[in-house]
Amino acid sequence: MLEIYVVILALASSPLLSLGDEEVTSEGVSVKIQGQSGGMTIGRTANPDLDNNAVKIKFDAIQEKDENGEVVGTSGNQKHSFNNFAQLPFEISNLEDTKYENLTAKRIIFTASISSVSSNLSVQTYIFSESGNITVDGESTQVDKGTVKFNIVLDGWTFCEVGTCRKGQTDEIGKYVDLTISIKGKGTPSRKTGNNKRTSGEEYDLGGEASVALSRKIRADNGEPNDMPGNYPAFETQGSKQLFVFRFPKFNSKVVYDPTVYPGNADAVSGATPIYSAFPLLLTIILAGFLTV
């Protein structure tokens, strides 16, 4: 019997659980990361897939475009546009203690290589351990315990230029990279306004008390934050997909973009346990076991 309690204690104190995908928990929030596609599910049940109010984030497409917004680099050995991340493997780090600006947080990083353009796509994910205010590329953003922030870093992208990308007899010249991400909550995203927002950027209500803050700014080549061109970020629907499109102008080495997710209240399906409810139950089992040893 004692061996069982040791296993339970080890699981309760483990910073990272691996069940094919990687799942981490902090401040009443669970983040499940898909190692094959880099998708994330963020909720308040021990398994966030069982939270009806969970926020599901999926990389949908990445496309290089020319000055007219036309997709380039769609053929040949060095493709510059991809409409599917399903087969892209991500390397996932361990969860670690860190700070974001002056606030304590947990961090986990997952990275994939896009070899055809000599680029790495890295997602630096933070779960805040305290409430406060941070500056996201010059925009003030409020965070709470359990707020999840993820920095998207596209590093080393090689753009189409004369002699590298062609369509028929015409050279293709890349000017932008459009990253399309599916961000889905319980309801259809609606833009927040006025005092309902927790950021000076854009914030979208996702339903179930969840929302996502989307900065209008990006940072390229370690420079100062600048607005995305045009009306980006843009929201669009494609069938059942709820998509946000982020446009990055041509850069030399890397570009960084920083969304922030506010998880909603737990709405557990039958059999699921909200995270905060699981620990008293676990402690009761452990104490009962020791008393009978």
8 Å CB contact between 245 and 179: yes
- Whether 172 is in a domain gets the answer yes
Backbone angles phi, psi at 132, to 5 degrees: 165, -165
Query: At which residue do the structure tokens 């934050």 appear?
Result: 225
Residue 212 buriedness (CB in 10 A; 0-12 / 13-18 / 19+): buried
Strand 202-207 relative to strand 234-238, pairing? unpaired
The predicted pLDDT at position 48 comes to 93
- Whether 105 is in a domain gets the answer yes
The predicted pLDDT at position 77 comes to 64
- Whether 100 is in a domain gets the answer yes
Q: Count CB-CB contacts under 10 A for residue 264.
A: 23
- Whether 24 is in a domain gets the answer no
* Separation between Cα atoms, residue 2 and residue 25, nearest integer Å: 26
The predicted pLDDT at position 269 comes to 67
Q: How big, in percent rounded to 5, are the helix, strand and coil portions of the chain?
A: 15, 45, 40
What is the residue-level pLDDT of the chain in tens, covering all 293 positions? Answer: 333 333 323 333 333 333 348 999 999 999 999 998 889 999 999 899 999 999 999 999 999 999 999 999 887 667 888 888 888 889 999 999 999 998 999 999 999 998 888 899 999 999 999 999 998 888 899 999 999 999 999 999 999 998 888 888 889 999 999 999 999 999 999 999 888 899 998 999 999 999 999 999 999 998 899 999 999 999 988 888 889 999 999 999 999 999 999 999 888 764 556 665 544 444 444 444 444 44
The predicted pLDDT at position 281 comes to 45
* Separation between Cα atoms, residue 182 and residue 242, nearest integer Å: 6
CA angle 144–147–153, rounded 5-degree value: 135
Query: At which residue do the structure tokens 């996201």 appear?
Result: 136
- Whether 212 is in a domain gets the answer yes
Query: What is the helix (H) or strand (E) element at residue 240, kind and residue range?
Result: none
The predicted pLDDT at position 273 comes to 62
The predicted pLDDT at position 11 comes to 35
* Separation between Cα atoms, residue 275 and residue 26, nearest integer Å: 9
The answer to whether the peptide bond before residue 189 is cis (omega within 30 degrees of 0) is no
Token digits for 165? 């990308």
Domain membership of residue 163 as a residue range = 53-271
Considering its fold, how many domains does the chain have in total?
1
Indicate the pTM of the whole model. Answer: 0.82
- Whether 81 is in a domain gets the answer yes
- Whether 59 is in a domain gets the answer yes
